[in-house]
A and B are shown apart, each in its own frame.
Chain A
Amino acid sequence: QVQLQESGPGLVKPSETLSLTCTVSGSSISTTTNHFWGWIRQPPGKGLEWIGTIYSAGTTYSNPSLKSRVTISVDTSKNLFSLNLTSVTAADTAIYYCARTSGGWLSPIDYWGQGTLVTVSS
């Protein structure tokens, strides 16, 4: 069974870097698999916003509204992937979800993590 689990600090200070990891079980993060690994967030009272996605081969895609602040990376040895979001403000307060897309470019998100709340506050 595929499971994803986010982890990281629940509180980040303004102007600092938000760092989260997503540990994957039941599915291999490998350069040979046809999977995409991504991050989505949901600010309080708002809808879902796609942050970015990394292809197993290492290519990344990011939301243009966040692009310059987002880094997504993969650690195949630990079967996890990570998100770094720099220069955070209160507007970055949200539930952050990690997710998998499987089956190629024209495929939906098929598994999600439970989500982790990150609050940006001094």
Chain B
Amino acid sequence: EIVMTQSPATLSVSPGERATLSCRASQSVSNNLAWHQLKPGQAPRLLIYGATTRATGVPGRFSGSGFGTEFTLTISSLQSEDFAVYYCQQYNDWPPVTFGQGTRLEIK
């Protein structure tokens, strides 16, 4: 099973600033890495797939990078609606599908 580790667990950032979230895989997942956004009471949303490709309708302030075992989600100029919990998901080697433990992005 591929273990996904996210850091930090909580990130406090002011609106308008940049946020950088990290995800590490216990073994290579190539570029088969996605980022999802979760907000209470809402359906989770796919943001990034293929490590770097934005999903349909995702604003350009969201960007993904990385390959192999190290990945980053960057949100430039944070908006109020961006404060949420973010999970990385590997789909290179499944079952099982595995997720990181999440990063909570909160308002500073």
Whether B46 is near chain A, meaning CB under 8 Å from some CB there, is yes
Whether B91 lies near A107 (C-beta < 8 A) is: yes
- Chain A contacts for B41, CB-based, 8 A: 114
Whether B101 is near chain A, meaning CB under 8 Å from some CB there, is yes
Whether A106 is near chain B, meaning CB under 8 Å from some CB there, is yes
- Contact residue range for chain B? 20 to 34
Whether A113 lies near B95 (C-beta < 8 A) is: no
- Chain A contacts for B98, CB-based, 8 A: 50
Q: Which A residue sits closest to B55, measured CB to CB?
A: A110
Bound CA span A46–B99, Å: 12
Residue in contact with A47 in the complex, picked from B42, B91, B100, CB distance below 8 Å: B100
Q: Which B residue sits closest to A66, measured CB to CB?
A: B96
- Contact residue range for chain A? 20 to 34
Between A48, A53, A64, the greatest number of chain B beta carbons within 10 A of the residue's beta carbon is seen for A48
Whether A113 lies near B46 (C-beta < 8 A) is: no
Whether A53 lies near B95 (C-beta < 8 A) is: yes
Between A50, A64, A101, A108, the greatest number of chain B beta carbons within 10 A of the residue's beta carbon is seen for A108
Whether A112 is near chain B, meaning CB under 8 Å from some CB there, is yes
Q: Which B residue sits closest to A49, measured CB to CB?
A: B99
Q: Which A residue sits closest to B36, measured CB to CB?
A: A109
Bound CA span A37–B45, Å: 16
Whether B49 is near chain A, meaning CB under 8 Å from some CB there, is yes
Quick one: given A47-B87, A47-B102, A48-B102, are A111 and B97 in contact (CB under 8 Å)? no
Bound CA span A3–B87, Å: 21
Bound CA span A47–B86, Å: 10
Whether B45 lies near A63 (C-beta < 8 A) is: no
A-B contact pairs, 28 of them (CB 8 A): A46-B101, A47-B87, A47-B99, A48-B87, A48-B89, A48-B99, A50-B94, A50-B95, A50-B96, A53-B95, A61-B96, A62-B95, A63-B95, A63-B96, A64-B95, A106-B32, A106-B91, A108-B49, A108-B89, A109-B46, A110-B49, A111-B43, A111-B46, A112-B36, A112-B43, A112-B46, A114-B43, A115-B44
Given contacts A50-B94, A101-B91, 7 further A-B contacts (CB under 8 A): A107-B91, A108-B46, A109-B34, A109-B89, A111-B43, A113-B43, A114-B43
